[in-house]
Amino acid sequence: MYTKEEIKDHVEMLIDPSVNKSFKETGGVKFLDIDEEKMIVNIIIGLDKLEDDYKRAVTRSLAKLIKLDLGFTGIKADFELNKKSDSILAREVRYIGIASGKGGVGKSTVAANLAYALKTLGKKVGIIDADIYGSSIPTILDMEVTPPKGTGDEKIIPFVKDGIELISTEFFLAPDKPLMWRGPMLGKMLNHFFYDVVWNKDIEYILVDLPPGTGDVALDIQGLIPQCKMVIVTTPHVSASHVAVKAGFAAEQLKHEIIGVVENMSFLKHAGETIYVFGNGGGKIVADKLKTKVLSTIPIGQPKDHISIFAPDEEIGIEYLGLANKIIKEY
Ligand SMILES: Nc1ncnc2c1ncn2[C@@H]1O[C@H](COP(=O)(O)OP(=O)(O)O)[C@@H](O)[C@H]1O
Ligand SMILES: [Mg+2]
């Protein structure tokens, strides 16, 4: 018969589906005992997120391991939330990924304006600038780029602009950044954004500004926040819509629900006329191919009193409020 230690070694090789890491990495095996009379293994597993789907998946893989592979009669598994889950990941937050096929279509601008619109509608909002190597949200929000401040216990304090909390690589690349945040940290930046930032307890929505296209960050996001829903941004031009569709399919493959499409730079209003500067219909093409809908068409324009953020009483600001409203209704 297998000893407790041997069984634990086996269980620790299983994957915690809530974070896509082994239970050895997460320290998820909290308790393990054998009822030798009944040949039953009792086990308590710590998960980063206590969702029924995860519990079922782990129960299944435990049953296979303990009964089929190791030959016990039964397994009794209980679950608890991992203690280290003082992070945002353990909380009920609605994540909205802002994705696009290529850069320059206005993804970050849309993310930032959507954050303000959600805030105007009374939501508590945060932004994760996950475009690690092309981060731009601090610039869009007209913020001074200074290094982040830490807490006594090595957590990172998020930046706040107009009540919106924000974290971005741009801050970590500030010229006088502290030594601890150089080099190696960049590679694991995304994990730090989720595990180590002390986000406000009341945050309801976190917008995630994703890098253009499909890549490692998309996989990391899937592992960290599989429940993240996506908004796809495109311009009206067919070439942009073509790659936006690919980004949408990639998100679907990673099992993210797509809320809808935002067509940005849709048209220009000038002297009472509507001019389709970048062509027409790209948003609809993307929405049709992804079997979703166009949530909003944002015209070309500049805000009155800010470099990138439209006030709620400007025409484009009102369009963003409409977008935020639709999103709140669904999610
Ligand atoms: N609707 C718009 N009208 C005019 N300029 C826009 C609009 N949306 C974005 N821009 C501008 O286009 C550029 C690229 O936008 P950005 O949000 O950085 O794109 P991305 O994040 O997709 O690379 C920026 O200079 C931005 O100010
Ligand atoms: Mg961007």
Q: What pLDDT, in 10s, does the model give residues 231-245? A: 999 999 999 999 999
Whether the pLDDT of residue 83 is over 80: the answer is no
150 C-alpha to ligand 1 centroid (Å):
32
Q: What is the pLDDT of residue 185?
A: 60
Whether the pLDDT of residue 122 is over 90: the answer is yes
30 C-alpha to ligand 1 centroid (Å):
49
* Average pLDDT value for the chain: 91
Percent of all residues in the chain with a pLDDT value above 70, rounded to a whole number: 95
Ligand nearest to the CA of 102: 1
Q: What is the pLDDT of residue 188?
A: 74
81 C-alpha to ligand 1 centroid (Å):
41
Q: What is the pLDDT of residue 154?
A: 78
Res. 84 pLDDT band, cuts 50 70 90? low
Lowest-pLDDT range, 77-91, 143-157, 269-283? 77-91
For ligand 1, whether the C-beta of 298 sits within 6 Å is: yes
Q: Which amino acid is at 18?
A: S
For ligand 1, whether the C-beta of 102 sits within 6 Å is: no
Res. 179 pLDDT band, cuts 50 70 90? very low
Ligand nearest to the CA of 140: 1
Atom of ligand 1 nearest to the CA of 102: 22
Q: For 190-200, what is the mean pLDDT?
A: 90
159-161 vs 40-47, strand pairing mode: unpaired
Its sign, for the CA torsion 134, 135, 137, 139, is negative
Lowest-pLDDT range, 13-27, 76-90, 196-210? 76-90
Atom of ligand 1 nearest to the CA of 110: 17
Beta strands in the chain (DSSP E): 15-16, 21-22, 29-35, 40-47, 74-81, 94-100, 125-129, 149-150, 156-157, 159-161, 164-168, 205-209, 229-234, 258-264, 268-270, 273-275, 294-298
Whether the pLDDT of residue 323 is over 70: the answer is yes
106 C-alpha to ligand 2 centroid (Å):
7
Q: Which of 102, 109, 267 to mutate to test the pocket of ligand 1 (most atoms within 8 A of CB)?
A: 109
Domains, the chain, in order of start with CATH, read: 4-81 (3.30.300.130), 88-330 (3.40.50.300)
Show the tokens assigned to 53: 């789907």
Whether the pLDDT of residue 259 is over 50: the answer is yes
